[in-house]
Amino acid sequence: MPPNIGVQLTTRCNLNCTHCSVQSAANDIPVGIIRDIVSYAQSINCRCLELTGGEPTLHPRFPEILAALCRHGLKFTLVTNGWNFAEVYSTISRHRANVNRVAFSLDGATEQRHDMARGRGAYRKVLQAVSICRSLGIRFGLRTTVTPGNIRQLEQIVLLGAKLGADELAVMPLMPTPRMAELDLLLHPRDLTRIMAEAGRLQKIFTIKITLTAGYPERTSRPPCPALNGSYLFVTARGKVSFCCHLANYVGGNNDADIVADLSQLSLPEAHRRMLAAVDEFNRAKSLRLANGSFTSLDHCPCWYCLKCFRKVEWLADFSDSPWSMDLQASRGVNASRTRERNRASLAGDEDRGKSPATKRFRQHPDVIETALDGEGAALMHTGTKLPFHLNATALRIWRLLKPGCTREELAQALYDEFDIDREKVREDLSAFLDELSASDLIVAA
């Protein structure tokens, strides 16, 4: 199958959404690169391009770009907030036969909720845009970014989408951004499993197709998204090939770690080959981490894993109370004393507060399910958070010692007696491991 090609036409936008992860700037993709993309798409039999932004309709040569695509028989999907759809629909309608879908952002079932995220008047603009599509017979779908503000409105959003006549509702989890962290509006990791369950329930009720995008916990070994299975190529508004559309121009992650190639210096076919090689290398490294037990519990959330790997969320160190920040620190191997102290305090009851860390007792959380894996440690699952956690052989030995309850010092002494290891190193590694178990709600105070 030929890959899908995504094109970020511009980073300009006419809204200022609170949850947006795209760094605002005035970058417009050169039309010359669009021509190269069209030519390459034809050569590999790719029949449809996905046009994104920012707000893609704000590209100053938007009509010319659509004409170039359609002149060569390509279809397109347009991802838009709908704000100025009434001004550009005539351009789109001229190429109606080439429209695969117009995907409108809808982040609330009510005007108040949607406008709270996107700005006053945004909800009415989406409804206006939908009415135009319905009148002209233009296929459209909806895209919802789930936040703490609308997570309880999912059923109403699905119902609204069905009433409007959308052929699909894509449900995307909010990714951590500095603005949402400052507002204390980040999703908790356990919210991701709740969204998955709710989407599954709603799909049994409604005929509208409900699609969970990448970003939710994955429990299989298969590549979790088009970028990582080699079926997606993304070109940014700066004319560069990015590892993933979600990594490009990521707010707060001011680096080009995701950039694979610059199309001003490399042809698109060569950039695509380089991209596929980078994907293979990334997947091998990820598989190795999973096999050797260095995966954290949240590494099973693929978008979060990539944000960490490409160093897009280093700013989270300033938000040590967030479980995402705790996971980041665990991955970096940083001795985050504030995080550890918070974890220890959360584990200790009032009667434990005067005890030293060495004398506090911990035990396995009673709501954790353990499954032994032949020769490969064990898999844990908390029945509440429903987030998986893998233990290698050494970690499994520690976990088993925690069953009756024991102190850090007792655990350390057991490891000294069983293994020939450096005492200071084992104390440091043991503390980090217990903090990770604590952050994942896998152990409690005994």
- Specify whether 279 is located in the same domain as 340: no
371: enclosing H helix or E strand: strand 368-372
- Residue 245: closest CA among 204, 212, 211, 275: 275
CATH of the domain at 377: 3.90.930.50
CATH of the domain at 179: 3.20.20.70
Q: Is residue 310 part of a domain?
A: no
Buried b vs exposed e over 402-426: b needs ≥16 C-beta within 10 Å?
Answer: beeebbbebbbeebeeeeeeeeeeb
Q: What share of the chain is helix, strand, coil (3-state, %, to 5)?
A: 45, 15, 40
Residue 57 near residue 80 (C-beta atoms within 8 A): yes
Stated pTM of the model:
0.75
Q: Is residue 56 part of a domain?
A: yes
Domain holding 139, by residue range, is 4-288
- Specify whether 272 is located in the same domain as 365: no
Q: Is residue 296 part of a domain?
A: no
Report which DSSP code applies to 2. Answer: P
By DSSP bridging, strand 378-382 and strand 368-372 are antiparallel
Q: Please state the domain count of the chain.
A: 2
pLDDT in tens, the chain (446 residues): 788 999 999 999 999 999 999 987 789 999 999 999 999 999 999 999 999 999 999 999 999 999 999 999 999 999 999 999 999 999 999 999 999 999 999 999 999 999 999 999 999 999 999 999 999 999 999 999 999 999 999 999 999 999 999 999 999 999 999 999 999 999 999 999 999 999 999 999 999 999 999 999 987 777 889 999 999 999 999 999 999 999 999 999 877 899 999 999 999 999 999 999 999 999 998 888 888 888 888 999 999 999 999 999 999 999 999 999 999 988 876 433 443 444 444 344 444 444 445 568 889 998 888 877 766 678 777 766 656 577 888 888 889 899 888 888 888 888 887 776 677 777 777 887 887 788 778 898 87
- Specify whether 23 is located in the same domain as 121: yes
Q: Which pair of structure tokens corresponds to residue 45? A: 């039999």
- Specify whether 118 is located in the same domain as 185: yes
Taking the C-alpha atoms of residue 181 and residue 313, their distance in angstroms, rounded to an integer, is 11
Q: Is residue 298 part of a domain?
A: no
Q: Is residue 176 part of a domain?
A: yes
Where do the DSSP E strands lie in 206-248? Answer: 209-212, 232-235, 240-242
Report in angstroms the alpha-carbon separations of 106 from 117, 140, 157, 195.
10, 12, 8, 16
- Specify whether 382 is located in the same domain as 241: no
Provide the β-strand partners of residue 309: none
Taking the C-alpha atoms of residue 185 and residue 203, their distance in angstroms, rounded to an integer, is 27
- Specify whether 274 is located in the same domain as 391: no
- Specify whether 136 is located in the same domain as 209: yes
- Specify whether 392 is located in the same domain as 243: no
- Specify whether 63 is located in the same domain as 194: yes
- Specify whether 90 is located in the same domain as 8: yes
- Specify whether 243 is located in the same domain as 368: no
Q: Which pair of structure tokens corresponds to residue 248? A: 């490009």
